[in-house]
């Protein structure tokens, strides 16, 4: 793959994530339905993209994922009106008061959060470390622990980051699934991957996807759902998003994770220009993608 194409895939992934988030946000919490996304008004992103931006900026500044620095960036740039998960807001408030990170996460939930908050923001890690799976997975864990220390919350981030890194290089379909499966550590996700393969092998209704893979805020009920959306509909950005929002539930985050993959696959050229024109912070996110691309070449 030439450099220009690879850079466009970096752009497609981050801008895809931001579009998936902001296009999904109006449908968050609704029951399943035949919804269609709408780009006729300005598109505002939520916590998913805000945290992705903070993480990406911290990686660029530090040239690495340093959990303390990532936590600092999350706190410094926090806009509490962006729809953060309640656990994440509480953890960040405790860290701000001086409580050490891992202690703070366990004060909120006994073993830390297994929400999808670490997975939804992790795409920059998959982009920067795409060349080295071991480094990519370790960095995903470091990017999770400021807010998500539960093994399932972390595993969700590992899976999304590795997917981004692989799709970026053109690995899709069955090869993508089998590499991901080899890197799974938890029984819960192993079970979900069995279901994923079963559902992809046949005609599957939206209701069956919701029932068996989930449409909720937990990592285990959204990460594999977003992979399904990408693997089934990823040759069209529009179809990926419309499928994600039609599920109802955590539409913005499932949309963000699926669209980070579809964007990495289709490149910036595969994203709808009339939506990009209306996306909040379009230029800022584009620049971040370019800077991550340069950093990935350097590391
Ligand atoms: N024990 C019990 N419940 C839990 C646990 C646990 N260990 N972990 C998570 N939950 P949170 P997020 C439940 O708050 O992952 C936003 O809309 C609990 O109900 O850590 O950062 C984002 O955009 C908890 O409040 O948030 C995402 O879409 C919830 O899972 C979504 O929320 C979410 O975990 C999750 O963001
Ligand atoms: Mg959100």
For range 102-114, the mean pLDDT: 94
For residues 163 and 119, the answer to whether their CB atoms sit within 8 Å is no
To test the ligand 1 pocket, which listed residue (48, 86, 119, 217) has its Cβ within 8 A of the most ligand atoms?
217
The Cα 79–Cα 118 span in angstroms is: 17
For residues 95 and 76, the answer to whether their CB atoms sit within 8 Å is no
CA angle 241, 243, 245 (to 5 degrees): 70
Distance in Å, CA 298 to ligand 1 centroid: 35
Distance in Å, CA 178 to ligand 2 centroid: 29
Ligand having the closest approach to the CA of 218: 1
- DSSP letter, residue 62: H
Query: What residue spans define the domains of the chain?
Result: 3-298
The Cα 263–Cα 164 span in angstroms is: 9
111 lines ligand 1 (CB under 6 A): yes
The 10s digit of each residue's pLDDT in 151-201 is: 999 999 999 999 999 999 999 999 999 999 999 999 999 999 999 999 999
For range 129-146, the mean pLDDT: 98
Q: Is the pLDDT of residue 102 over 90?
A: no
Rounded to two decimals, the pTM is 0.98
pLDDT for the residue 236: 98
For the domain bounded by 3-298, which CATH number is listed? 1.10.4080.10
The Cα 269–Cα 264 span in angstroms is: 11
The 10s digit of each residue's pLDDT in 178-188 is: 999 999 999 99
Q: Is the pLDDT of residue 128 over 90?
A: yes
To test the ligand 1 pocket, which listed residue (78, 117, 214, 244) has its Cβ within 8 A of the most ligand atoms?
117
What is each CA distance from 269 to 72, 83, 229, 283, in whole angstroms?
34, 29, 20, 15
Rounded to whole angstroms, the maximal C-alpha distance in the chain is: 52
The 10s digit of each residue's pLDDT in 190-248 is: 999 999 999 999 999 999 999 999 999 999 999 999 999 999 999 999 999 999 999 99
CA angle 107, 255, 285 (to 5 degrees): 85
């Amino acid at each position: 793959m030439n450099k220009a194409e690879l850079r466009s895939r970096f752009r497609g992934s981050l801008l895809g994530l931001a579009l998936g988030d902001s296009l999904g946000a109006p449908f968050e919490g609704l029951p399943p339905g035949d919804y269609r996304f709408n780009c006729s008004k300005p598109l505002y992103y939520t916590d998913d993209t805000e945290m992705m931006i903070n993480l990406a900026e911290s990686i660029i500044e530090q040239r690495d994922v340093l959990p303390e620095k990532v936590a600092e960036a999350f706190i410094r740039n926090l806009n509490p009106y962006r729809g953060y998960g309640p656990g994440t807001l509480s953890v960040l408030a405790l860290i701000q008061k001086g409580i050490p990170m891992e202690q703070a996460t366990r004060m909120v939930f006994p073993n830390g959060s297994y929400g999808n908050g670490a997975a939804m923001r992790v795409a920059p890690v998959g982009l920067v470390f795409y060349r080295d799976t071991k480094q990519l997975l370790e960095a995903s864990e470091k990017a999770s622990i400021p807010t998500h220390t539960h093994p399932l919350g972390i595993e969700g981030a590992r899976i999304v980051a590795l997917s981004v890194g692989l799709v970026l290089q053109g690995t899709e379909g069955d090869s993508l699934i089998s590499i991901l499966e080899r890197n799974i550590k938890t029984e819960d996700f192993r079970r979900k991957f069995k279901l994923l393969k079963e559902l992809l092998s046949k005609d599957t209704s939206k209701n069956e996807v919701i029932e068996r893979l989930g449409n909720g805020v937990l990592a285990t009920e959204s990460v594999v759902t977003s992979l399904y959306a990408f693997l089934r509909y990823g040759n069209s950005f529009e179809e990926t998003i419309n499928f994600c929002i039609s599920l109802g539930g955590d539409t913005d985050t499932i949309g963000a994770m699926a669209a980070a993959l579809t964007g990495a696959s289709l490149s910036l050229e595969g994203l709808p220009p009339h939506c990009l024109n209306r996306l909040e912070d379009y230029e800022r996110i584009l620049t971040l993608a370019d800077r991550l691309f340069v950093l990935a070449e350097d590391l």
